[in-house]
Structure 1
Amino acid sequence: MVLIVTFAAIGFLIDAMGFKEALDTHWVDAEIRGQGVRGDALFVLVGGVFIAIGLPRQAVCFLAGYAFGFAEGLVWASLASLAGCVTAFFYARFMGRDFVTARFPDRIRRIDAFLAGNTLSMTLLMRLLPVGSNLLTNLAAGVSGVLALPFFVGSLLGYLPQTVVFALLGSGISVDPVFRIGASVVLFVASGVIGVWLFRRYRHGRHLDSATEAALDETGDDDPEQAR
């Protein structure tokens, strides 16, 4: 409840101070483009805060492509995504870990068991899946006992396919728009399919929450032996 209330308070504060519309093309044109290092740092800072409180990461990636072009936008969008992940993770770890682990030990054990053994690769698989919430994943990992660095590296790598997709969509480089949109759709679908296939093949008894498991099982044969 503390986590929920404080994140809600941050959201109301952003709305009250007029920051709700901050991440749009007008703001990018006025504050980011042509501002050099200041603009780069401001984009990463604001984008990271917005991602940390649960706003769509894809929108930040799209605007990075719009502001900086594809290649540079990919870099700054990735850094903003990582900043949002790190912020939410440590917020949950410092604010809610003791409280949650004392009251929901079984659920925390399930998260730890899913990520155990190779946190980096299992986080990568989880990030590639086309279902689930980025914010809830960050908070759940924060209150669990997983190591921070492998989780961050796995997240950064797992974010990459969608970051490429939306930075490409937002970029204004001299690429035919039909090709750009078509390539983005193909990459988006391909990353989701690969994520589901890898998860079903390598989860080996690891389980996420029931809603995510049900969504993933609808994507293919429910035979657990075949899934492995």
Structure 2
Amino acid sequence: MNPRILLRGLLLIGSLVALGYLFEVTQLGSLLDKGWIDSEIRGKGLDGELIFIAIGALATAVGLPRQLIGFLGGYAFGFLFGTLAALIAASLGCVIAFYYSRLFGRALVMARFERRIRRVNDFLSGHTFSMTVLIRLLPIGSNLATNLAAGVTHVPAFAFIAGSALGYIPQTAVFALAGSGIEVDPVLRIGLAIALFVISGVLGAYLYRRFRHGRSLDREIDRELGEEQAVEEQQKA
């Protein structure tokens, strides 16, 4: 996998870890003790959990990185439940963006993502569930643009959403791990998060190369993976 992809992911993990460290050991941390997560989420039981999921769903639906929601889920709830809550939020965000595009935003999405829509339709058609899982494993690409473009295509909604939810799991778990309990064994936790991120990224890149059958989702993804020339040659053949 292209080292630039891993570098961007590692920098994202590092920046979130640094932010979480500040939460715990600086005045920023004391402010956040009185802030949104601690006042509205932590210790609020089911109400806090539902608020987090609802806000996370809306945030990812409009383009906030799902990795950030994973990190905040880990910070708010710990690794296991934080992963689950963030996964539900990201999946609901996918549903919202998908159906907004399919039911209400067709003209707007067609105008802005016409070329991507054709690529998404070609890429997902026939094996929607497995191909969706594949692209969600990649540590690159736009989650929002893919959701909007898929909504305009004729791909089945359930297969796309279910494939997205399954494919979201690795990165959600990685960032929830980075955000959770960082005051305890930080080197071990962050080291494990980085290792899991690298493994999931390499796996996603391998599966993309192995099972796409000459189809291309996005030129940027192909370029990052060093596959753009190979795709063009297959299309000309």
TM-score under structure 1 length normalisation: 0.80
Query: Partners in 2 of 1:175 and 1:41 — Cα distance?
Result: 27
Runs (5+) with no aligned partner, structure 1: 1-22
Question: In structure 1, which of residues 107, 113, 116 is the aligned counterpart of residue 122 of structure 2?
Answer: 113
Query: Partners in 1 of 2:154 and 2:111 — Cα distance?
Result: 13
Q: Any idea what the Cα deviations from partners look like across 1:90-142, whole Å, max 9, x if unmatched?
A: 11111233676699877544322210121111001101112101111111111
Runs (5+) with no aligned partner, structure 2: 1-31
1:97 aligns with 2:117: no
**1:214 aligns to what?**
223
**1:182 aligns to what?**
191
Question: In structure 2, which of residues 82, 89, 104 is the aligned counterpart of residue 73 of structure 1?
Answer: 82
Query: Partners in 1 of 2:231 and 2:42 — Cα distance?
Result: 49
**1:47 aligns to what?**
56
| CA displacement at 1:194 relative to structure 2 | 0.5
Q: Any idea what the Cα deviations from partners look like across 1:12-68, whole Å, max 9, x if unmatched?
A: xxxxxxxxxxx9983110100111111010000001111111012111111111111
Query: Partners in 1 of 2:117 and 2:155 — Cα distance?
Result: 10
| 2:178–2:193 CA contact under 8 A, matched in 1 | yes
Task: Report which stretch shifted further, 194-203 or 174-183.
Answer: 174-183
TM-score under structure 2 length normalisation: 0.77
Percent of counterpart pairs with the same letter? 56
Query: Partners in 1 of 2:176 and 2:201 — Cα distance?
Result: 17
**1:151 aligns to what?**
160
Task: Report which stretch shifted further, 149-158 or 205-214.
Answer: 205-214
Query: Partners in 2 of 1:109 and 1:181 — Cα distance?
Result: 39
Identify which of structures 1 and 2 has the higher relative contact order when contacts are C-alpha pairs closer than 8 Å and 6+ apart. Answer: 2
Query: Partners in 1 of 2:76 and 2:135 — Cα distance?
Result: 29
| CA displacement at 1:72 relative to structure 2 | 1.0
Between the two proteins, the alignment pairs up a number of residues equal to 203
Equivalent position SS for 2:225:
helix
| CA displacement at 1:163 relative to structure 2 | 0.6
| 2:113–2:149 CA contact under 8 A, matched in 1 | no
| CA displacement at 1:216 relative to structure 2 | 1.7
2:126 maps to a residue whose letter is G
Query: Partners in 1 of 2:164 and 2:79 — Cα distance?
Result: 20
Query: Partners in 1 of 2:199 and 2:183 — Cα distance?
Result: 24
| 2:133–2:164 CA contact under 8 A, matched in 1 | yes
